[in-house]
Amino acid sequence: MVAGLIPHRWQLEAHDLAMAALRSGRRNVVQACTGSGKSILQSLVVRSVWASPRLQPADVVVVLCPTEALVEQLAATLSAHSDSRVGRWYGRRKELTGRQTVVCCSASLQGLADALLVEGRRCVALLVDECHRGLASDDARAALDALAPLTRLGFTATPWRTDSAIPGWDAPLLYRYRLSDALADGVVVPPEVVYWRGEDGVCVDDALLAMLAEHRPEGPGIVSAVDVADARATAELLTSRGWPAEAIYGEQSAHRQAALLEALRVGALRCLVHVRLLQEGVDLPWLRWLGMRVRRTALGQVQEVGRVLRRAPGKDRGIILDPLCQSPVAAFYSAEALGAWEAEAETETRPRDPLPPAIRPLPLAVAVDDLRAWTVALRSLAPAAGLSLQPPRTVSRGPATEAQVRALASFADRPHGACSRFPAAVRDGLRELCRGAAALDRTTAAELLDVLVAVGQALSASVGRHGWSRAWRWPDAVPLATLQPAALAALTTTA
């Protein structure tokens, strides 16, 4: 392969499938979790494409990225490992003449296609990074038609579009490499999630500061913010409490962003506070911890948590400080059926009700934490399932109200209601969770109610002219983890 580079097993497997797909002309997609080494895989593919004796000097391989920062990042990796002359194409930086491989920003693809036509060159292969962002717009299709690649291959770390075709690409996936695979192989470091265990009613910033003071995470970190104003205010607060921080956001110049990242890397800053800039497509393996003070969608959680799971010398874990108790890793596992939940979902063959007597109930506090994590994952996946939810409520660790308990119990007792519209592996456990709602905290109960009410609204909207339902159901394309039977048993025993 590449001198000085020892690919991971999965990269070799995916490489062989990718080359076969390129030779056949299929439009396939490789999905590999954040931090597992997609850029190295692309370097291997580019190198193998250029090893073909049939390529001509005028041929070119084009690698497409959604942002200029990703162009620079990927071009550096390809230059180091692909054994080809690599150019960049975006804005005022247009390097084509004498280059075998060109990394192009998506917005500049039409210009690159025009330049290739002028030079009389052809695109023999198009590799599209972050291909879940799509080639489905009119402008993208026009640029793709003008480029006219002989073959193409997509890459994504986003695990949500795996059972149906991404616009512009063939289904199913050519290769899937999950987080559980990466953890088992040691390709990424394991997460260590620290939840807020203090008193109820503490504001998120006070909780985060208390967690920082208690756990003292080492090395550089990132903290999430709602918007730019929130990022600036949070950075000032952290700095005043002994955690030197700066806000980083998209409106800053590339030079300013690069300077802030370097200050973080060398230790001049302890953390950067971002809105969404550090969620996707940024390779910062030296990050050690994340303060997750903003509720993200499941996709946002995956991208943000992925920043601190990349492997680096001397790094054996990624620390997630979670003052909102939203369990981002659990949401990740639910979306991709990862880790222990993944294994349980794939091997479970028996119904959930009644519970096997051999299952020993967990301590109630542990069970409630597990069920809270499952509910967070359920809510984070609901938009992908087509449900419209109310904005999240303020966090409260107080007990569920009597009204919430009654409402959830009513959902459990409706044989053809919202609970019946979930996958069979979840259905009975969900009813049991609703019946045991008195053990839940107020926020978990509210979020579970939000989802069930949204399902009821979807059912009402799908009633036909004659009063019959069109049977809205949780879509198979949105994987949902099964509920932990030991946690449900704890609720049953308590009740």
Residue 307: the pLDDT is: 82
Q: Helices H, strands E: what count in the chain? A: 17, 14
Highest mean pLDDT out of 125-139, 337-351, 405-419, 455-469: 405-419
Instruction: Give the Å distances, CA to CA, from 326 to 167, 322, 370, 434.
Output: 31, 7, 11, 19
Which tens digit of pLDDT belongs to each residue from 254-278? 889 889 999 999 999 999 999 877 6
pLDDT at 78 over 50: yes
Largest Cα–Cα distance of the chain, in whole Å?
76
Which tens digit of pLDDT belongs to each residue from 216-268? 999 999 999 888 888 999 999 999 999 999 999 888 888 898 899 999 999 99
Residue 340: the pLDDT is: 40
Which tens digit of pLDDT belongs to each residue from 84-106? 899 999 988 999 999 999 999 99
pLDDT at 194 over 90: no
Indicate if 300 and 427 belong to the same structural domain: no
- Residues 379, 451 contacting (CB under 8 angstroms): yes
Which tens digit of pLDDT belongs to each residue from 307-343? 888 889 999 899 999 887 765 444 444 334 343 433 3
Which tens digit of pLDDT belongs to each residue from 7-65? 999 999 999 999 999 999 999 999 888 788 899 999 999 999 999 888 999 999 999 99
Short-list 312, 254, 260, 259, CA closest to 283? 312
Residue 259: the pLDDT is: 93
Q: Is 243 helix (H, G, I), strand (E, B) or coil?
A: coil
CA 453 centroid distance within chain: 26
Mark which of 273, 308, 324 sits at the end of a domain: 324
pLDDT band at 131 (very low <50, low <70, confident <90, very high): confident
Does a structural domain hold residue 335? no
Domain that holds residue 364: 349-494
pLDDT at 440 over 80: yes
How confident is the model over 116-130, as a mean pLDDT?
94
Indicate if 227 and 144 belong to the same structural domain: no
- Residues 330, 377 contacting (CB under 8 angstroms): yes
Indicate if 139 and 65 belong to the same structural domain: yes
Structural domains counted in the chain: 3
Q: What is the distance between the alpha carbons of residues 287 and 280, in angstroms, rounded to a whole number?
A: 14
CATH number at residue 156: 3.40.50.10810
Short-list 308, 371, 302, CA closest to 338? 302
Task: Compute the mean pLDDT over every residue in the chain, rounded to the nearest whole number.
Answer: 82
Indicate if 235 and 353 belong to the same structural domain: no
CATH number at residue 216: 3.40.50.300
